[in-house]
């Protein structure tokens, strides 16, 4: 997978989980048939054959129902039975960001926790862009792969739109493929030494 493609996918996923889908996002998606097809055929047809305003309304309801009313996409909520968001360097994700030079000002966002999936995907976007391969692999191993896959499998049954149902499958496949890409790349580098 190419760096630009990986960077764009992580940026897209960061945006999807950071806020309810707005008109601009819906219009951008409708114009990007290649991305819609990558997500899934049902999603492509959903965007081809439905009014964009109707799609926006349905995606907003779906997003709000899943990520605001039920279980927010926050690592510590999912992994900790108490469902408490850890703050500062008590939060293992924040500590990871700090160790790798990723600064986040939580006062500049409506997101309540640094281990929110939108921010975690944003972090991956940054380290992919910077070619920090070891950091990418380590973050996938210690954070994303530990919670995102089971979380999305559970959330898929709650999704009422084809977009979110297929998006969750796409994300699972993408994360596994991206991790395997990093492992193969690392093995190839060791073979060259």
Contacts from 94-97 at CB under 8 Å and sequence distance 24+?
96/139, 96/142, 96/143, 97/123
* Bridge partners, 165 (sequence order): none
pLDDT in tens, the chain (193 residues): 799 999 999 999 999 999 999 999 999 999 999 999 999 999 999 999 999 999 999 999 999 999 988 888 988 877 776 566 666 667 788 889 999 988 877 666 777 788 899 999 999 999 999 999 999 999 999 999 999 999 999 999 999 999 999 999 999 999 999 999 999 998 887 776 6
Separation CA 90–CA 73 (nearest Å): 19
pLDDT at 89: 63
Separation CA 166–CA 156 (nearest Å): 8
Contacts of residue 192, Cβ cutoff 8 Å, sequence gap at least 6: none
Helix (H, G, I), strand (E, B) or coil at 118: helix
DSSP string, 64-92: IIIIIII--SBHHHHH-TT-----GGGSH
Class of 3-192 in CATH:
mainly alpha
């Amino acid at each position: 997978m190419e760096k630009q493609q990986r960077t764009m996918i992580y940026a897209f996923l960061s945006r999807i989980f950071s806020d309810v889908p707005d008109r601009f996002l819906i219009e951008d998606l409708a114009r990007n048939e290649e991305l819609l097809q990558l997500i899934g055929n049902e999603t492509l047809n959903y965007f081809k054959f439905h009014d964009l305003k109707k799609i926006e309304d349905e995606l907003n309801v779906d997003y709000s129902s899943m990520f605001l009313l039920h279980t927010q996409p926050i690592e510590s909520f999912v992994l900790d039975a108490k469902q408490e968001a850890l703050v500062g360097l008590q939060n293992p994700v924040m500590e990871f960001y700090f160790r790798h030079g990723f600064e986040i000002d939580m006062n500049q966002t409506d997101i309540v926790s640094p281990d929110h999936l939108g921010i975690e995907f944003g972090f991956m976007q940054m380290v992919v862009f910077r070619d920090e391969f070891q950091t990418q692999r380590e973050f996938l191993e210690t954070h994303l792969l530990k919670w995102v896959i089971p979380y999305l499998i559970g959330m898929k049954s709650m999704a009422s739109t084809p977009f979110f149902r297929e998006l969750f499958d796409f994300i699972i496949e993408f994360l596994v493929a991206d991790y395997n890409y990093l492992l193969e790349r690392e093995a190839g580098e060791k073979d060259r030494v």
